[in-house]
Structure 1
Amino acid sequence: MAASTANVEGITGVLEDYLSKVGFEVYPLKVGWYNSVLPPSLHLAYPDDSLAVVVLSTPAMFEQAFLPFLEERGCRGLSDPIDQCVKHWVSSAVSQCFPGQEVDVRYDYELLPSRKPKFLAQTAAHVSGAAFYYQQCDVTDQPWAQKKMFGVCVHPRFGGWFAIRALLVFGGVTVGCELEQPAPPDCVPSREARIQLLEAFNFHWQDWSYRDIVPPVQLYSQKQRDYFSTRPAQRFALLKDWGFLPREDGLPASTSDTQSQGTGHG
């Protein structure tokens, strides 16, 4: 069944209405945009014109979604509390907004049996126009010789103070050329600033300076900084100190929060 632009706007609009109240953003994309920049082994197994939506968390998510989630539901089992919160809100949005509709939901922390991620979060954010994914190849005359430098996404409004949380694929919804691919805002255009960004992210990511590469409209609160600065194994103890009492049956399994790029972020 082909979907018109109105269908796309209806899907993204209802998701936005549901999730923006608790600190998330949503951006539509075509599966083909994503697959076209990746090798076949990393492709999503859907037609190129299938609709997908990438979900980001903003600085507001911690106070608007995470702390209320802990108050109402608490932590369960070994999985990371942030991951539990994101899954709760995204799955609730899907079940409430699209009852009976097949939606393939993939979270940033999930792996396939091959140990590859279920989706490449930063690639999805870039091709949707949500955030520019700055990589080593985006720097001319690189000063790093043969060293491998990991890339990082920069949001035009939040800088690095955000995270990419999920990808929703609507396998039964196809879109045509009426959904045009937006270019992600290039908010770090100079070579010098890109070098500064990648070096800060790769060599000093713990000090979070890379997040301020552009002036953000909102930062993480002090409480949120305290949480993500705490080693994952100690985060349950921190939540207990804050008055949340999760079951004491182990440590969180995931680090969750560096834009899902493997450095353990928030």
Structure 2
Amino acid sequence: MAASPASVESVIRPLGSCLTKLGFEVYPLKVGWYNSVLPPSLHLPYPDDTLAVVVLSTPAMFEQAFLPFLEQRGIQKLCDPVDQCVRDCVSTAVSQVRVECFSELKVDVRYDYELLPSRKPKFLAQTAAHVSGAAFYYQQSDVTDQPWAGKKMFGVCIHPSFGGWFAIRALLVFEDVTVGSELVQPAPPDCVPSREDRIKLLEAFNFRWQDWSYRDTVPPAQTYSERQKEYFSTAPALRLALLRTWGLLPEEEVQPDLSPDEQSQANGHG
């Protein structure tokens, strides 16, 4: 596929058209932006000017994509229902890109829950969101004069519109699409600029993540609905039973509990 500004637009337009109405956001990036901030062992194996797209789910995804997916399609055994919904939505969008753009387009789709044989994630979701400009990835290194006495603090992304009420779902690498100077790297919006607020954010995320207070670090334009909060507050092994009580799954589709490994992969996708 020839490299040109039109080739990039011809990918982003149908991808966004399919996914935005379902409560997702798409942000283009160059593979080189991602690789430049990571050690070689974590690089994506593509040239720096290859087009990639990070896909986020907003609070609207639950009602606009997930619940209709359950009603229309049902789910497979022993797989996280949200993961199945995201995979279905992304696959449909990629198919539409191929219809409108190039039928033989090669797309490496990596989901947030997938692991390599080495047990490393297939991509670092928060890094991808940061370098694309979608959300600022606040890390321990972003706090000067740290108060944690050498304690390891995990970082967290904050979205300029939704705060912490969103999730990073997938990275799509369009192997045939080369990006030129038309795509300029945007800086992610620094929604938490002060040292004090960054300390509060990281402490809320690391020490009290269950109460979800870190998600309100910036006033969100939209939060999860009460039903969505109930779903993601429920242990992964119990979510199918919850969906059955909502009338979204027939009784025979309720499956046994997930294994510990499957539970660990399902955890935190909200």
2:164 is the counterpart of 1:167: no
Q: Distance in 2 between matches of 1:200 and 1:106?
A: 29
Q: Distance in 2 between matches of 1:233 and 1:254?
A: 7
Q: Is the 8 A contact 2:116 2:122 kept in 1?
A: yes
Q: Distance in 1 between matches of 2:73 and 2:214?
A: 33
Q: Which residue number corresponds to residue 256 of structure 2?
A: 250
Q: Distance in 2 between matches of 1:230 and 1:255?
A: 14
SS at match of 2:21: helix
Tell me: CA distance 1:82–1:207, structure 2 relative to 1, closer, same or farther (3 Å): same
Deviation at 1:265, TM superposition (A): 4.3
SS at match of 2:110: strand
2:219 is the counterpart of 1:195: no
- Aligned counterparts, 1:60-99, within 5 A: 60-98=60-98, 99=103
Count, aligned residues:
261
Q: Distance in 1 between matches of 2:14 and 2:263?
A: 30
Q: Which residue number corresponds to residue 12 of structure 1?
A: 12
Q: Distance in 1 between matches of 2:65 and 2:257?
A: 22
Q: Which residue number corresponds to residue 231 of structure 1?
A: 235
Q: Which residue number corresponds to residue 105 of structure 2?
A: 101
2:50 is the counterpart of 1:50: yes
Deviation at 1:205, TM superposition (A): 0.4
Opposite residue 178 of structure 2, the aligned amino acid is: T
Deviation at 1:176, TM superposition (A): 1.6
TM-score by length of 2: 0.93
- Which stretch of the first structure deviates more once superposed, 27-36 or 175-184? 175-184
Q: Distance in 1 between matches of 2:96 and 2:27?
A: 19
Q: Is the 8 A contact 2:70 2:249 kept in 1?
A: no
Q: Is the 8 A contact 1:133 1:153 kept in 2?
A: yes
Tell me: CA distance 1:119–1:53, structure 2 relative to 1, closer, same or farther (3 Å): same
Q: Which ranges of 4 or more aligned residues in structure 1 deviate by more than 4 Å?
A: 254-257
Q: Which residue number corresponds to residue 127 of structure 1?
A: 131
Deviation at 1:42, TM superposition (A): 0.4
TM-score by length of 1: 0.95
Q: Is the 8 A contact 1:139 1:195 kept in 2?
A: yes
Aligned-residue Cα RMSD (Å) equals: 1.4
Q: Which residue number corresponds to residue 260 of structure 1?
A: none
Q: Distance in 2 between matches of 1:138 and 1:79?
A: 36
2:40 is the counterpart of 1:36: no
Tell me: CA distance 1:163–1:175, structure 2 relative to 1, closer, same or farther (3 Å): same
Tell me: CA distance 1:30–1:223, structure 2 relative to 1, closer, same or farther (3 Å): same
Q: 2:146 aligns with which of 117, 142, 145?
A: 142
Identity %, equivalent residues: 75
User: Which sections of structure 2, spanning at least 5 residues, go unmatched?
Assistant: none
Opposite residue 82 of structure 2, the aligned amino acid is: I
Q: Distance in 2 between matches of 1:237 and 1:159?
A: 30
Deviation at 1:177, TM superposition (A): 2.1
Q: Distance in 2 between matches of 1:66 and 1:118?
A: 23
User: Which sections of structure 1, spanning at least 5 residues, go unmatched?
Assistant: 258-262
Q: 2:221 aligns with which of 198, 217, 226?
A: 217
**1:233-254 CA deviation, whole Å, 9 max, x = no partner?**
1101100100022623323424
Tell me: CA distance 1:87–1:265, structure 2 relative to 1, closer, same or farther (3 Å): closer
